[in-house]
Amino acid sequence: MIPWAWLTHNWFDLVQSIGIVSSLLFTGVSFRSEMQTRRVANLFLITESHRSIWMEIYKRPGLERVLDPQADIRQTEITRDEEMFVNFVIFHIHGVFYAHKHALLFKLEGLRRDIQYFFSLPIPMAVWQKSRSLQNESFVTFIEECLIGPSSTGSS
């Protein structure tokens, strides 16, 4: 009988508490859903940006040397177009890095390996060495960890 007496005196507080808890749960579910939607939208934006940058290789054949592992930068200097292209890639990676750091993206499998491969090429490495002093410290650390290899810090 005591629970029934308590309920008759406190029914409004109970309903109010259930409403507050339900609202919080609904807000949490909505927030999670919105975050997932935002991550998917960001993935599409990054994919479009990635495609746009790399299409330049096909549109401008003079940029093919950027991806040549045998490019001799001592014999033939890096062109302005090659340097600009690599800087666009660096800016793109920079954006991806910060979006990932602030949980605005899903985990991108293979990102570190892609970065390691790209900067293992002579032209991208030379441009990186030239421009790294202009980058944020945390971004430089991330790139340098990628250059060491996947076993150094795990995957991101």
Token pair 């570190």: residue: 112
Lowest mean pLDDT among 1-10, 15-24, 93-102, 138-147: 1-10
Query: Residue 94 in contact with residue 56, Cβ under 8 Å?
Result: no
User: Do residues 89 and 117 lie in contact, with contact meaning Cβ atoms separated by under 8 Å?
Assistant: no
Please state the rounded mean pLDDT for residues 137-146.
95
What is the C-alpha separation between 64 and 2, in angstroms, rounded? 83
Residues 155, 111: Cα–Cα separation, whole Å:
8
| pLDDT average, residue stretch 56-65 | 92
pLDDT at residue number 154: 45
The string of pLDDT tens digits covering residues 111-120 is 999 999 999 9
Residues 124 and 85: their CA atoms lie apart, in Å, by 9
What's the mean per-residue pLDDT of the chain? Answer: 89
pLDDT at residue 103, as a whole number = 85
CA separation for the pair 16, 47 (Å, rounded)? 46
Share of the chain above pLDDT 90, in %: 58
Contact predicate 105/46, CB 8 Å: yes
